[in-house]
Structures are given as C-alpha cells and as structure tokens.
Structure 1
C-alpha cells in the first residue's frame, strides 16, 4: 500500500517557517522525519493511529537536528540578473537586456534575456528546458540505434526523485536540470535510460548494455551522488 498524502503544514525552526509534507503510511510502525534536500522541505510520515498534531509535536521537538540538517542545504540561486547558472557544467551569468527583443540566448558565457524583468525567471527556465530537450534528443536516438531499439516520446519534467526513466512502451522522461550538469553526466543518464529499452531492470545484462553505450560510467555516477542535489537549488 502506498503513502497517503495528508497535505502540507508549516513548522517553525528557530525564526524560520519550513513546509512539512505529511503522509500516512499504513505499514509504518513509528513516526519518521526527513529533509528533502532537493526541495528544502520536510517529510513527516505517520503510522496508523497517530494524529497530525501528534506528529507535528514530534517534529517540533527535533529542533537541534532540524537546525543542523537545514543548515546543510545548498543556498538557493534564483534566476535573476547577475546570477550564475551552469549550462552543461559551465557557469553562465544571467544578463538582463530589456530592450534587446531577442528572447533568450547564450553568448560569451552569458544567458542573455530580453523583455520585462518580471518575466526573466520564467524565460530562463523555459530556455533551459528547451536546451535540455535539444541536448537529450540529439543523444537518445543514436544511442537507441546502437542497441537496436527505437525510443518513444521524450518528456522533460522537473522531477526531484529521479533524473530519468523509461516506460515499458519505450517512452523516456528526464529532468530538465540535467542541462545544468556536466556534459558527461547528461550523456550517462541518457545512456542509462536508453539501456532500459533492452533491459528493464538493473541486472548485470543491463549494466553490460550501459558499458556498450558510454566509456566511463563510474565518474558521472559519482558526480550525481555528490553534487546532484545541488542542481535543485537553481531557479
């Protein structure tokens, strides 16, 4: 049986109000509290018979632990004029050029954005999504050809729990935030999901297919373990 969402409450940690996502797990035996590093929120899971108020009191008693864990979260980087954002691992500075009338484009280490300042965050985000789709699509088709398969639809999402997925029908889904990672990391994730077109598992046969598609598997895997959560702080 799956988690049942109970909505979101706010919890005070020192002078800070932190969102807490509450969920009921029918097989849980105790209250669990964890920090979602990707979104900067808390997840409070309750077993049957424990009320939301009791769960929130439990969370409120964990001030020292929460203070320490929240302090470890990477600092958010809003999409704003002057902010530095990586594109395929290379830092670019967002530059607002309100009168340029060219949309969004990259040049000389900058992401240049025309139009009104109020639209800048959305325009940067949309631009990065388009770049992610372009880079991923350009890699997926030839890799699928190498394993004798054809992929289905490619979907670009903003997922917090996984970088990519492959459905039983061969449809591929990826996080747009891969465009922020180094090129070899994006290439690895695309190869990983394309390999599922042959092997819908993580067996030795699956990893043998991945090894056919990409020379270095361990380096990008290690990068994602160490730095993947930091990509969630942008925008």
Structure 2
C-alpha cells in the first residue's frame, strides 16, 4: 500500500494498492467515506498509474463533489431517521423523544449531538437485534453476539464463530435497507462467502435484495455525512 497526493483544489489523497489478481488499472471511490483507491496490476509501473489517475481527474473530482459536504449535528440540523428527515429541536425531560418530523433533545445544547447519538445507537441495536433474530430463526442457526460500530469500510460483518457486527448508521437509512443488511450478515452464518448459494440464501431470507443493495451503493455515503463529534 502506498499513497499519491493528487494536487489541486482540493488536494485528493489516493491509496495505491498492488494486486496480483488485477488485470487492469482501476480507480474506486468508497461509497461509505469517499476514500479513493487506485489498483495496479503487479507489473504496471507506478508512473503509468499516475498517468491513468491524471486522465481520470475530472471524473474523480465530479464524483467526490457529488458526495456532499459533512453536516455537523446540533439543534436545528435535519437528519434522516429510518429514511425520513427529522429536525433536531430542544426538548424537555430526561430522554430524547421522537415526534412528527422532529427529534427532541433535552439538556445542554452543546451535548445535543452526543445525546442524540446515544439514542440512535440504542434504537439501531433494537432494530438490528429484532431483524437478526427473525432471520437467524428462519435460517435455523443462531448468532453468538451482536455489536455496533461506526464502521467506514462496511455496513456489517459476520465472524466465523457467529458474531454479527453492524454500523449503527443503518438506522438513518430506510428500514428495508437495515433489514437487507441483517439478512445478508445472517446468511453468512451458513455461507462465509459471496457464492451463488449465499445470494440464494439471502433471497430466501429477505426476498429480492437488489434494490436495497443498490441504494447502499448509490446513497450509503450520505449517511456518513452527519458528524456527531
């Protein structure tokens, strides 16, 4: 792994990856966090990779601009929750509450983002545990544990000992997308690969998975725009 800095306004950091299996140069923008990766076949010199990168610069900048700027979360911000926009407003009492198109956050406004993140993580755990329970029962194979992270490389994962991990930001997206990711990871309890048998299992558990998978590819990066720090 190496890195190339593509000069300009703004400067773009590009991770360079060598691959013995790659047959051609390829350029990829992560739909999760906008990271750019240039893959070079083993025999291709780095100078050729730099020339390829320059030839794709206009395309690259256009796609990065379309991903949107970060959104700091606080009172007055509008964020998606289960696919619908909600405005963050000052609340009363001890807990975050959800109303018609609003999220009411009590307490110190400077702590609103942190309190809201806690609420969203709890809600995400409830939804993902419920979905995972349904799909693992349908599969006939239990999972061993469920953890949440703010992952930037994947929406979920399944370990060989049956542990499921999910990004809590799935709660921001449409419910069917969250359900699809749960079915996808539960299917890995039986097939630790992405073979045809695996995708057939996902379809048996969830149904037609193509639309939510495409939504994640096209719009998943938008869920990472919202900054709670």
Work out which structure has the larger RCO, using CA pairs closer than 8 Å and 6 or more positions apart in sequence: 2
Q: Name the residue aligned to 1:124.
A: 116
Helix, strand or coil: the match of 1:162? Answer: coil
Matched, 1:174 2:166: yes
| TM-score with structure 1 setting the length | 0.76
Q: Are the structure 2 counterparts of residues 79 and 195 from structure 1 closer, same or farther at C-alpha, using a change threshold of 3 Å?
A: same
Q: Distance in 2 between matches of 1:37 and 1:221?
A: 12
| TM-score with structure 2 setting the length | 0.78
Matched, 1:208 2:212: no
- The correspondence for 2:96, drawn from 76, 79, 104, is 104
Q: CA offsets per residue over residues 118-168 of structure 1, 9 Å max, x none?
A: 111112222111111110001111211111111011011111221111110
Q: Distance in 2 between matches of 1:76 and 1:21?
A: 20
Deviates more, 1:123-132 or 1:67-76: 67-76
Q: CA offsets per residue over residues 177-207 of structure 1, 9 Å max, x none?
A: 1111111111111011111112212222222
5+ residue gaps, structure 1: none
Q: Name the residue aligned to 1:183.
A: 175
| Cα drift, residue 108 of structure 1 | 2.0
Q: Distance in 2 between matches of 1:221 and 1:62?
A: 26
Cα RMSD of the aligned pairs, angstroms, is 3.4
Helix, strand or coil: the match of 1:13? Answer: coil
Q: Name the residue aligned to 1:13.
A: 8
Helix, strand or coil: the match of 1:85? Answer: strand
The number of aligned residues is: 225
| Cα drift, residue 115 of structure 1 | 1.3
- The correspondence for 1:80, drawn from 74, 81, 90, is 74
- The answer on whether the counterparts of 1:13 and 1:67 sit within 8 Å (CA) in structure 2 is no
